[in-house]
């Protein structure tokens, strides 16, 4: 896989070496068991796969090149490069201005952006409507388009479905940048509707089967479907794609559900005429991160620390998996670990910060699961580990542990 030129301060002196050692011993990722780092009083279970993915490293490399290559120009980002505050704040410090927030609300009016300016398209991609605005302004967009190739793969799959007369069901969060971008591209060639989860999928399935009136479609999906969507006509042939960062098992469950709905309505002999059996469009990194989390959860542990941006979809799903088994704390950096007696962490269900006292408990040795989302730098995970380690009396240094692993 391509090696990217990203700032060295995003890499780490410890976590990155652990990841590299696993790549050497397991290059094909057949083993998703975690790496256990034993410091005596505390043991860390490090996920087999986590942190920066191909799409994120590609986006960061392009963004820093844009700054380097255009010292006298105004440089804009459409919105957050990735869902990580450390990365976005560093780009701001380089003078990059953000045009809009993650919800699409405008910070900088289009009229202020000139043809000679540089506009970076983030890893999530953007809508066709925004692309048209940039093109009409005469802005060069291809050179600094950091759209993840796995996102464009979903767009191509949607086009393929549309060309064969299928409507596209997108499993995603309707307001997420990537889902908005995918929806825009999908509607260019196919009738499209977004379902957030299995609950909404069940409602849509009942409409297809006639178990709910067609009028329910507008009530539940009126703001999540393409213009002119006709549920009576457009739900006769469907295919499922996803926002690449969704929970893989849920996307597969939704696809299986709609396949069964179509079998129930049209019979198994005619299923290919009504359901497109698309391959899962989840990106490899999201899938690997989730598989590595399942590997973590097969081990005995006392608590989990998941590091990443609070608006990161793929990170929230890692939290969702961990919290089903043990106390889980979602943090964006080591700064939320206030002391050995207090941690501030994000409740992604209610979108609020919580304070939890005595989160480390009294059990020794304490076993801590540690992982992060695809947009979190290894250096941040390093600092989280160091902060936690400072509350204990380690029997070995990190250098000794790395030497043992290399030996």
**Confidence at residue 374, expressed as pLDDT on a 0 to 100 scale:** 87
Kindly report whether the peptide bond that precedes residue 406 is cis, defined as omega within 30 degrees of 0. no
Give residue 5's pLDDT: 78
Domains 8-53+284-406 and 162-276 agree in fold: yes
Q: Nearest 10 degrees: CA dihedral of 280, 282, 286, 292?
A: -10
What per-residue confidence (pLDDT) applies to 287?
84
- Catalytic residue (one of 178, 200, 320, 336): 178
Whether pLDDT at 195 is above 60: yes
pLDDT band, very low/low/confident/very high, at 282 (cuts 50, 70, 90): low
Higher-confidence residue: 328 or 80? 328
Query: In terms of Cα–Cα distance, which of 115, 7, 8 is closest to 63?
Result: 7
Under 8 Å between Cβ of 7 and 253: no
Mean pLDDT score across all residues of the chain: 93
98 band by pLDDT with thresholds 50, 70 and 90: very high
Among 100-109, 117-126, 366-375, 388-397, which is the least confidently predicted range?
100-109
Give the per-residue pLDDT at 53. Answer: 83
For 127-150, b/e burial (b = at least 16 CB within 10 A) is: beebbeebeebebebeebbbbbeb
CATH of segment(s) 54-136: 3.40.50.11270
* 8-53+284-406 belongs to CATH 3.40.1010.20: yes
pLDDT band at 52 (very low <50, low <70, confident <90, very high): confident
Beta bridge partners of 131: none
Enter the pTM of the model. Answer: 0.86
What pLDDT digit, counting tens, does each position of 212-230 carry?
999 999 999 999 999 999 9
- Does residue 57 have an active-site annotation? no
Task: For the chain, give every domain's residue range.
Answer: 8-53+284-406, 54-136, 162-276
Q: What is the pLDDT of residue 2?
A: 64
Does residue 1 register a pLDDT over 60? no
For residue 305, pLDDT over 90 is answered with yes
Confidence band of 88 (pLDDT split at 50, 70, 90): confident
**Across 10-24, 191-205, 389-403, least confident range:** 10-24
- Is the predicted pLDDT of residue 240 greater than 70, yes or no? yes
Task: Locate 77 and state its tokens.
Answer: 């980002």
Residue 253 burial (10 A CB sphere; 0-12, 13-18, 19+): middle
pLDDT tens-digit map of 161-182: 999 999 999 999 999 899 999 9
Average pLDDT over residues 340-350: 97
**Least-confidence region, from 83-97, 128-142, 310-324, 333-347:** 83-97
CA gap 115, 316 in Å, rounded: 38
d(CA 28, CA 13): 24
> What is the reported pLDDT for 404?
87
Q: What is the CATH number of domain 162-276?
A: 3.40.1010
Interval 187-214 mean pLDDT: 97
Mean pLDDT computed over 345-361: 97
CA–CA separation, 186 vs 170, rounded Å? 9
Q: What percent of the chain has pLDDT over 70?
A: 98
| pLDDT at residue 407 tops 80 | no
Nearest by Cα to 94 from 3, 7, 4: 7
């Amino acid at each position: 896989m391509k090696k990217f030129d990203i700032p060295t301060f995003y890499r780490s002196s410890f976590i990155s070496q652990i990841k590299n050692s696993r790549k050497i011993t397991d290059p094909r990722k057949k083993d998703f068991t975690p790496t256990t780092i034993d410091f005596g009083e505390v043991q860390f279970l490090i996920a087999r796969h986590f942190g920066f993915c191909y799409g994120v490293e590609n986006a960061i490399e392009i963004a820093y090149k844009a700054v380097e290559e255009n010292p006298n120009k105004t440089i804009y980002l459409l919105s957050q490069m990735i869902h990580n505050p450390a990365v976005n704040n560093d780009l701001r410090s380089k003078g990059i201005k953000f045009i809009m927030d993650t919800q699409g609300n405008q910070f900088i009016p289009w009229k202020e952006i000139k043809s000679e300016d540089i506009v970076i398209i983030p890893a999530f991609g953007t809508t066709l409507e925004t692309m048209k605005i940039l093109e009409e302004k005469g802005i060069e967009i291809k050179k600094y388009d950091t759209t993840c190739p796995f996102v464009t793969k979903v767009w191509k799959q949607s086009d393929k479905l549309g060309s064969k007369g299928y409507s596209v069901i997108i499993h995603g969060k309707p307001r997420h940048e990537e889902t908005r971008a995918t929806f825009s591209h999908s509607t260019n060639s196919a009738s499209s509707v977004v379902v957030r989860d299995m609950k909404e999928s069940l409602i849509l399935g009942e409409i297809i089967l006639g178990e709910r009136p067609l009028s329910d479609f507008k009530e539940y999906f009126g703001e999540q479907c393409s213009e002119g969507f006709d549920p009576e006509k457009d739900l006769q042939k469907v295919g499922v794609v996803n926002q690449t960062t969704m929970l893989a098992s849920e996307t597969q469950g939704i696809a299986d559900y709609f396949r069964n709905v179509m079998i129930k309505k049209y019979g198994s002999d005619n299923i290919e005429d009504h359901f497109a059996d698309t391959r899962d469009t989840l990106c490899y990194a999201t899938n690997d991160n989730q598989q590595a989390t399942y590997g973590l959860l097969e081990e005995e542990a006392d608590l989990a620390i998941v590091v990443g941006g609070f608006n990161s979809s793929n990170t929230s799903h890692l939290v969702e998996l961990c919290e089903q088994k043990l106390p889980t704390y979602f943090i964006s950096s080591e700064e939320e670990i206030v002391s050995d007696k207090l941690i501030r962490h994000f409740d992604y269900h209610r979108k609020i910060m919580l304070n939890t006292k005595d989160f480390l408990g009294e059990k020794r040795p304490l076993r801590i699961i540690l992982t992060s989302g695809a947009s979190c730098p290894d250096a941040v995970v390093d600092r989280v580990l160091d902060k936690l380690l400072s509350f204990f009396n380690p029997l070995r240094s990190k250098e000794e542990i790395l030497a043992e692993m290399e030996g």
